[in-house]
Amino acid sequence: MSMRVMTWNLWWHFGPWEARQPLILDTIRDAAPDIVCLQEVWSDEDDDQLDHLADQLEMYAVRTNPVFYNGQSFGNAVMSRWPLERIADERLPRADGEASHRRVVAAAVATPFGSWPIASTHLDHRFDRSADRRAQIRRVMELAIEWRGDAATDLPVVLGADLNAVPDSDEVRMATGRSPGVDGIVFSDVWEQVGRDRGHTWLRDNPYSAVSAWPDRRLDYLLVSWPRPKPTGNPISAWLTGRPADADGIWPSDHLALVADLVTPD
Per-residue pLDDT of 33-47, as tens digits, reads 999 999 999 988 788
pLDDT tens-digit profile, the chain (266 residues): 999 999 999 999 999 999 999 999 999 999 999 999 999 999 887 889 999 999 999 999 999 987 777 778 889 999 999 999 999 999 999 999 999 999 999 999 999 999 999 999 999 999 999 999 999 999 999 999 999 999 999 999 999 999 999 999 999 999 999 999 999 999 999 999 999 999 999 999 999 998 888 889 999 999 999 999 999 999 999 999 999 988 789 999 999 999 999 999 98
Domains in the chain, number: 1
CA 63, CA 74: separation in Å to the nearest integer?
Answer: 10
CA 164, CA 251: separation in Å to the nearest integer?
Answer: 20
Domain that holds residue 201: 2-263
Which value, to the nearest 10 degrees, does the dihedral of the CA atoms of residues 202, 262, 223, 43 take? 60
Tell me what percent of the residues of the chain surpass a pLDDT of 70.
100
In eight-state DSSP terms, residue 185 is: B
CB-based contacts of 27: which residues, under 8 Å, 6+ apart? 8, 241, 242, 252, 257
Phi, psi of 60 (to 5 degrees): -90, 155
First to last CA, the chain: 7
SS3 content of the chain, % helix, strand, coil (to 5): 20, 40, 40
CA 253, CA 66: separation in Å to the nearest integer?
Answer: 20
CA 1, CA 264: separation in Å to the nearest integer?
Answer: 6
Which CATH number do you get for residue 249? 3.60.10.10
